[in-house]
Amino acid sequence: MLSTGDDITVNHPEEHDSESDDDPSGSSAVVLGLDGLAALIAALWDRGYRVVGPTVRDSAIVLDELLTADSLPIGWGDEQAPGHYRLRRREDQARFGYVVGPQSPRQELSPQKVALVKIRRTADGFDADAVDPTPAAPIAFIGLRGCELAAMGIHDRVMIGGAHPDPVQSARGADRFVVGVDCGDPAATCFCTSMGTGPTAGAEMGPDNTETADLRLCELIDDDRHDFLCHVTSKAGAEVMETLEHRPANTADHLAAQEVRHRAVQCIEKHLDTDGLADRLMAVPDHPRWDEVAERCLSCTNCTLVCPTCFCSTIDDVGDLAGEMTTRTRVWDSCFTLDHSYLHGGAVHATTRSQYHQWLTHKLSTWWDQFGESGCVGCGRCTTWCPAGIDLVEEATALSRAPEINR
């Protein structure tokens, strides 16, 4: 990933003239066809990356290894609402016509279960060795949205930005390559525009958002075309692009991308008023809405497992049957479990009410105290995947108002 100010140029295989008008962000823009997209995925594998991107499995868009571009969710879209997710057939053959699935980059960067230390019984007691977290290959992510780029940055800053950088996340995220995609068809659960993380995958993100893609695609589809405007935003991106067939972007291409962006912004109906929200939420621990939402919440942990920034984990020393070897293992955890807050004799967050309070205030309020930024990127996953259809925006908004107005 590059810092701003680097000079990025793509040497076009064909002649390149003044017709190409690079956008003001300083990155160079080209147009990539469907064959070019396929070639991009192949080129990333050739360069030694493990390419991970969206594919259809179990009636959902999941993240998995993408051997070829044929595995992309071609012609699939999704339909999302509180407590509702369905794949739908699109009328076009869009490769990125869905929004976000239940998974996010954090499953790759900090897997659900990861061995940290091997502890072996010895005559002296024990010997302990760190498990080498270096992956066989660096990851290339395909198709990450603006909200996911933001989430990846937030999650990184928790895991490797503090005094004790996590070796797992450091190693797995090192030298990654990211192909971002502008969102063209946001869902009813999306509120990235409120959180300043989307719907585009980079350039318009807020000043605090340091995470960038190496290549940023905008899928352009109409009766006459199906290709991608591609902003080349890093040296690694430029190096890959040089090996692919592409043409310089012209004004019409940029206008088409602007139209996609404009439509996406128009689509987003959900709005969270973030002005003063952090303080307002922490100021109302006795608000009756907490009781009310606790009656609907099942403490199922879904929201925390689909959230792209949630980082809670537990540590288990898992022994073998012989009692000779223990593997210190990190496993995703959730603040909706009683074990999460267990303290000699009972849980601190013993009720669903206090668990929900912990979750919501952490995302929108105390994350600022702990890490200096929001813990929510507005992707809407928690709302979509809540079996009770609890809507984060609706709850946060209700809690921001005086109780009597809710009645």
Partner 1 sequence: MSLRDSIAAPMVPVRYRVVERRRETHDTVTLTSVPDAGVDALEEPRPGQFHMLSAFGVGEVPISVSGVGPQGGIEHTVRAVGANTEALDALSAGDAVGVRGPFGRGWHLDGAAGMDVVVLAGGIGLAPLRPVIQHLIEQREENRSVRLLVGARRSEELSFTSDLAAWSEAPGIEVAVTVDSATREWSGRVGVVTNLVEDLDVDAPRTVAFVCGPEVMMRFSARALIEFGLLPEKIQLSAERNMKCAIAHCGHCQYGPLLICRDGPVFDYPELCELMEVREL
With binding defined as CB under 8 A, does residue 255 bind partner 1?
no
C-beta neighbour count of 49 within 10 angstroms: 20
Closest approach, Cβ 373 to partner 1, in A, equals 13
Contact pick of 13, 48, 162, 206 for partner 1 (by CB under 8 A): 162
Helix (H, G, I), strand (E, B) or coil at 51: strand
Q: Does 124 bind partner 1 (CB under 8 A)?
A: yes
What tokens appear for 361 in the block? Answer: 């205030």
By the rule CB under 8 A, 171 interacts with partner 1: yes
Site for partner 1 in 331-370 (CB under 8 A): 333, 335, 339-345, 348-351, 353-354, 357-358, 361-362, 365-366, 368-370
Question: Per rule CB under 8 A, is residue 407 in the interface with partner 1?
Answer: no
> Residue 202 and residue 216: Cα distance in Å, rounded?
7
Q: Which of 5, 24, 207, 323 binds partner 1 (CB under 8 A)?
A: 323
Which of 17, 132, 224, 404 contacts partner 1 by CB under 8 A?
132
Query: How far is the C-alpha of 373 from the C-alpha of 366, rounded, in Å?
Result: 9
- Residue 387 structure tokens: 């079996």
CB of 226 to partner 1, least distance (A): 44
Question: Is 319 near partner 1 (CB under 8 A)?
Answer: yes
The CA distance from 137 to 298, in Å, is: 39
Give the span between the Cα atoms of 389 and 150, in whole angstroms: 24
Q: Which stretch in 35-43, 75-83, 158-166, 237-245 sits in contact with partner 1 by CB under 8 A? A: 158-166
Check residue 306 for interaction with partner 1 (CB under 8 A): no
CA 95 – CA 374 distance, rounded (Å) = 30
Q: Alpha-carbon distance 320 to 371, whole Å?
A: 38
* CA-based radius of gyration for the chain: 23
* Nearest residue (CB) to partner 1, 41 versus 364: 364
Question: Hey, is 404 helix, strand or coil?
Answer: helix
Q: Which tokens sit at 392?
A: 């984060």
Identify residues 69-108 at the interface with partner 1 (CB under 8 A).
Answer: none
Q: In the bound complex, what is the minimum distance in angstroms from residue 161's beta carbon to partner 1?
A: 10
Backbone φ, ψ for residue 270 (5° rounding):
-80, 135
- Contact with partner 1 (CB under 8 A) among 311, 336, 376, 383: 311
Q: Tell me the site size for partner 1, rule CB under 8 A.
A: 61
Question: Rule CB under 8 A: is residue 131 a binding residue for partner 1?
Answer: yes
The token duo for 6 is 């680097």
- Are the C-beta atoms of 352 and 337 separated by less than 8 Å? no
How far from 313 is each of 22, 113, 334, CA to CA, in Å? 44, 9, 7
Closest separation in Å from C-beta 291 to partner 1: 12
**Shortest Cβ 211–partner 1 spacing (Å):** 19
Q: Looking at this protein, which amino acid is placed at residue 369?
A: D
Asked whether the CA dihedral 86, 389, 99, 101 is positive or negative, the reply is negative
- Output 216 or 349, the one with its CB closest to partner 1: 349
Stretch of 33-41, 237-245, 254-262, 307-315 lying at the interface with partner 1 (CB under 8 A):
307-315
Q: Which is closer to partner 1, CB of 91 or CB of 129?
A: 129
Among 9, 65, 130, 252, binds partner 1 (CB under 8 A): 130
Nearer to partner 1, 126 or 208 (CB): 126
Buried-exposed string 182-202: b where 16+ CB fall within 10 A, e elsewhere: bbbbbbbbbbbbbbbbbbbbb
Q: Within 257-296, which residues bind partner 1 (CB under 8 A)? A: 282, 285
The answer to whether residue 9 forms part of the interface with partner 1 (CB under 8 A) is: no
312 binds partner 1 (CB under 8 A): yes
Decide whether 117 or 265 has the Cβ nearer to partner 1.
117
Per DSSP, the three-state class of 101 is coil
d(CA 65, CA 52): 4
Q: Does the footprint of partner 1 cover residue 194 (CB under 8 A)?
A: no
Given candidates 158, 230, 272, 364, which one binds partner 1 under the rule CB under 8 A?
158
> What is the sign, positive or negative, of the torsion defined by CA atoms of 274, 276, 279, 283?
negative
115 has which bridge partners?
A: 329
Nearer to partner 1, 8 or 158 (CB): 158
Tally helices (H) and strands (E) across the chain. 15, 16
The footprint of partner 1 (CB under 8 A) covers 116-117, 119, 121, 124-133, 158-159, 162-164, 166-168, 171, 282, 285, 311-317, 319, 323, 326, 328, 330, 333, 335, 339-345, 348-351, 353-354, 357-358, 361-362, 365-366, 368-370
